[in-house]
Amino acid sequence: MNALQQQPSGLRQLELRLQQDLSWLEWPAKSWVPPREVAGQPVTDVVVVGAGMCGLAAAAAIKGLGISSLLVLDKAPAGREGPWVTYARMETLRSPKQLTGPALGLPALTFRAWYEAQFGSEAWEALGKIPRQQWMEYLVWYRKVLDLPVRNEVELVAVTPGPDDLLTLRLREAGGEREILARHLVLATGRDGLGGSWVPPIVSGIGRSLWAHSADEIDFAALAGKRVGVVGAGASAMDNAAEALERGAASLDLFVRRKDLPRINKFTGIGSQGVVHGFAGLPDDWKWRFLDYAMKAQTPPPRDSTLRVSRHPQARFHLGSPIESLVERDGHLVLTTAKGAYPLDFLIMATGFSVDLGVRGELAAVAPFIRFWKDRYAPPAGIDNAELANAPDLGPGFEFQEREPGTCPALSLIHCFNYPAMLSHGKLSGDIPAVSEGAQRLARGIARALFVADRKAHYEALVGFDAPELLGDEWTDADAPAAEPRDRVIA
């Protein structure tokens, strides 16, 4: 029997082992949240929006704590959630293969276990980094083996404070819209979860047929034989440049504002469980100081991604070349820097994402009340940082907080489990290394909030519980007078 024939049985054995582990751990815990209805409409305890890696990890952690009224929504078709097979264009993940990611402390739920079950330990040892499409296959398996309640091709259109300390969620599905009620909402919506793609104002007025953001759908096959430009120096810039080159771009000009590429990934140097669990406990000044320094040092693109570009002779790196002008001329672009003018047929802006609630129509009803760091914190002189200033100021369970107390209490029911949570909680909700720890912190916060909200019902259950542990015949009171034998009692 060859290796390919052995794969299904190996994976099945792993699944059986995982189910045994979950059984021994009593996972999921018994359901304990009292069911609710409002005017005959059932209430969902937790709705997670986003079924990518963070959303799946969050849902698994929530389900594991016995919160069974749970729903996960994603607007993408099944198998296309998150960036992995859409706008992520790297060949492999950037994280080391041994990181356990969303496994929640369960060895049989790790990527390594999934991989070795199919391909063996020798193949694992030979593996460099994880191919991104294979990571997506693992996440599809993760969702299946944990039986997570995901509904695809469903979009959150609006969230509004509803009756009885609930949220009303308007959903678009199958061409129509409907409303559901929820007690908590988790936004596991990725890098652009509180905004969208950011591009410099210089592209304003340029026809969209001539440029795209790196997170857009791009027809790279149509770029064969074309002069392509990429703006940026990060990993996504390299990935998009490489994709264009590999699809036959005639030339590739990479424009980098800095005079040199960053060389050192600073956060890698201090990665530890101390950072994972300790960052949220730092004073505000220190949170800001850590992240401001790391952001300004910038994260270098991976070496493999950079070599993937530079091995093409038609690729040119332009360092110290911020854009001075960009004009449309005779059906193409002319991009000008201090070093010259460059005719281009297409330009890709690998310029990242920004927090901008104005483009998140689903949050329009609550957005004016959300507190951001800029609303309550002024950094020391010299370390201003607009990206950090626009980060949401979150509570201990990733929940939004009110800018003005009392103006929108329902914000405490909405949890921001996406990349912009980093300043409040550290890197727990956007990257592979600590997503399990982030998901567990989120789940515990929601469980605590649900129990506190239902305290009256739980107290009544405590008082009303009357199943006896002892029946009264398990002991004899040594100090009680002995009873007369029944046959000597005189009527």
Select the highest-mean-pLDDT range: 28-42, 261-275, 474-488: 28-42
pLDDT tens digits, 356-398: 999 999 999 999 999 999 999 999 999 999 999 999 999 999 9
Contact indicator for 160, 167 with CB cutoff of 8 Å: yes
- How many Å is the maximal CA-CA distance in the chain? 122
pLDDT bin (cut points 50, 70, 90) of residue 9 is: confident
Residue 261 has pLDDT above 90, yes or no: yes
In whole angstroms, give the CA distance from residue 188 to residue 83: 13
Question: Which amino acid belongs to residue 265?
Answer: N
Predicted pLDDT of residue 220: 98
User: Can you tell me the mean pLDDT for 412-417?
Assistant: 98
% residues pLDDT > 70 (the chain): 96
The pairing of strands 154-161 and 332-337 is: unpaired
Q: From the centroid of its chain, how far is CA 204?
A: 30
- The pLDDT of residue 486 is 58
Residue 6 has pLDDT above 60, yes or no: no
Burial group, residue 247, by CB count within 10 angstroms (0-12, 13-18, 19+): middle
How far is it, in rounded angstroms, from Cα 89 to Cα 214?
9
What per-residue confidence (pLDDT) applies to 168? 98
Alpha-helical runs (H) found in 188-328: 235-246, 266-269, 273-278, 284-297, 303-310
Nearest to 249 by CA among 208, 326, 309, 302: 309
- Is the pLDDT assigned to residue 245 strictly greater than 90? yes
pLDDT tens-digit readout, 102-145: 999 999 999 999 999 999 999 999 999 999 999 999 999 999 99
- Is the pLDDT at 455 greater than 70? The verdict is yes
| Token pair in block for residue 419 | 């990349």
pLDDT value for 491: 46
Q: pTM, whole model, 2 decimals?
A: 0.93
199: helix, strand or coil: coil
Better-scored residue on pLDDT, 79 or 265: 79
Q: Is the pLDDT of residue 287 over 70?
A: yes
What is residue 1's predicted lDDT score, i.e. its pLDDT? Answer: 40
Does the pLDDT of residue 485 top 70, yes or no? no
Token duo for residue 305: 């991604």
Give mean pLDDT, residues 165-192. 96
DSSP state of 392: B
Which residue is associated with the tokens 């000597």?
Answer: 488
Give residue 8's pLDDT.
Answer: 56
Average pLDDT in the chain = 95
Which are the contacts of 237, defined by CB distance < 8 A and separation ≥ 6? 214, 230, 231, 254, 301, 348, 350
Predicted confidence (pLDDT) at residue 4 exceeds the cutoff of 50? no
